[in-house]
Amino acid sequence: MLRLSIHRLLSVSSLARRSCIMQSVRGVQTPPKLQGKVALVTASTDGIGLAIARKLAQDGARVLISSRKQQNVDKAVKELKQEGLDVEGTVCHVGRSEDREKLVTTAVQKFGGIDILVSNAAVNPFFGNILDSTDEVWDKILDINVKAAFLLVKLVVPKMQERGGGSIVIVSSIAGFRPFPLLGPYSVSKTALLGLTKALAPELLPLNIRVNCLAPGLIRTKFSSALWENEAGLEQLTSALGINRIGEPEECAGVVSLLCSSEASYITGETIVVAGGGHSHL
């Protein structure tokens, strides 16, 4: 219910949205903050990625939606187009190099270049004591969550250079600061993304490309459903947070849009935690 009502609040009708497209500041019409920008968002057919894609498009960007399954891409693109948003879609399993390349070439073909990358895809194939995790578990988690994020950055940087700069946001997790119980390898991969952000930011600064990181707390999506579907378990988890409730995907999206915009032009190498007050220091 809460998710639905927040979603309704934030997803105003396409008519209302169009009327918001030009914001009036002291009578002067200013364009929306991402107007003219092209954004790639991985894993953007559901959950946090979909909310980010929607918000970037609401703020004026042209957005390329992607995930592994064609039917999910088609559904998300249809939904956002019906809201009057400028989006296209393509299949991209971030672990496949040919898919990553296709994602980049599709953005260039359809929209003429790339200004924004939101690297959001992650997997977690393992719950348990970290000492029980296998070679295969570590390979899968590090390949998808860390290596694919870096390799995609490497592919988009030359395209951003052609446009004179850009903005990259990498989606980590509050688990990157304090590992979640039974999610050791996943949590370590998310700590690595905090490091990847720090390593990339100074190198890309001379290219006018900013790199920042988002660390969500417990957000209501399919990915985290095992943690929140049981009400008693959810209460126990959220009572440990400053805000005594679970977060919604839309509560992550505005921060990402801000980081991608010129309003954040003096912010790079930072991680913004959206976790209702949860522990956020290494």
Ligand X SMILES: NC(=O)c1ccc[n+]([C@@H]2O[C@H](COP(=O)([O-])OP(=O)(O)OC[C@H]3O[C@@H](n4cnc5c(N)ncnc54)[C@H](OP(=O)(O)O)[C@@H]3O)[C@@H](O)[C@H]2O)c1
Instruction: State the minimum distance, in angstroms, from the CB of residue 205 to ligand X.
Output: 25
Long-range pairs, 182-188, Cβ under 8 A, ≥24: 182/127, 182/128, 182/129, 183/124, 183/126, 183/127, 184/129, 184/130, 184/133, 185/126, 185/130, 185/133, 185/137, 185/138, 185/141, 186/122, 186/124, 186/126, 186/141, 186/145, 188/141
Footprint on residues 75-114 left by ligand X (CB under 6 A): 92-95
Q: How many residues bind ligand X (CB under 6 A)?
A: 29
Looking at residue 219, what DSSP letter applies? B
Q: Please give the helix or strand (H or E) that residue 41 lies within, else none.
A: strand 38-41
Examine residue 268 and tell whether it contacts ligand X (CB under 6 A). no
- Dig out the tokens for 241 from the structure: 């947070």
Q: Which residue lies nearest ligand X, judged by its C-beta?
A: 47
* Residue list 13-52, contact with ligand X (CB under 6 A): 42-43, 45-49
Which one of residues 39, 53, 104, 144 is an interface residue with ligand X (CB under 6 A)?
A: 144
Query: Under the criterion CB under 6 A, does residue 143 sit at the interface with ligand X?
Result: no
Q: Is 154 in the site for ligand X (CB under 6 A)?
A: no
**Nearest distance from C-beta of residue 108 to ligand X, angstroms:** 19
Which residue of 106, 133, 167, 173 would you call a contact of ligand X, by CB under 6 A? 173
Does residue 120 interact with ligand X by CB under 6 A?
yes
158 phi and psi angles, rounded to 5 deg: -60, -35
Please give the Cα distance from 218 to 156 (Å, whole number).
29
By CB under 6 A, is residue 68 in contact with ligand X? yes
> Measured between alpha carbons, how far is 224 from 220 in angstroms, rounded to an integer?
7
> What are the φ/ψ torsions at residue 82 (nearest 5 degrees)?
-65, -25
Q: Which residue from 219, 201, 234, 199 is spatially nearest to 120, judged by alpha carbons?
A: 219
Is residue 266 annotated as part of the catalytic site, yes or no? Answer: no
Show the CA angle centred on residue 265, arms to residues 263 and 271, nearest 5°: 95
State the minimum distance, in angstroms, from the CB of residue 53 to ligand X.
10
From 43, 144, 186, 224, active-site residue:
186
Collapse the DSSP code of 67 into the 3-class scheme (helix H, G, I; strand E, B; otherwise coil) and give the result. Answer: strand
Nearest residue (CB) to ligand X, 160 versus 171: 171
Closer residue to ligand X in complex, CB, 224/238: 224
Our CB check for ligand X shows the closer of 175 and 264 to be 175
Q: Are 35 and 29 in contact (CB under 8 A)?
A: no
| Nearer residue to ligand X within complex by CB, 26 or 222 | 222
Residues 199-258 that bind ligand X (CB under 6 A): 216, 218-219, 221-224
Query: Binding residues for ligand X, per CB under 6 A?
Result: 42-43, 45-49, 67-69, 72, 92-95, 120-123, 144, 171, 173, 216, 218-219, 221-224
Residues known to be catalytic: 186
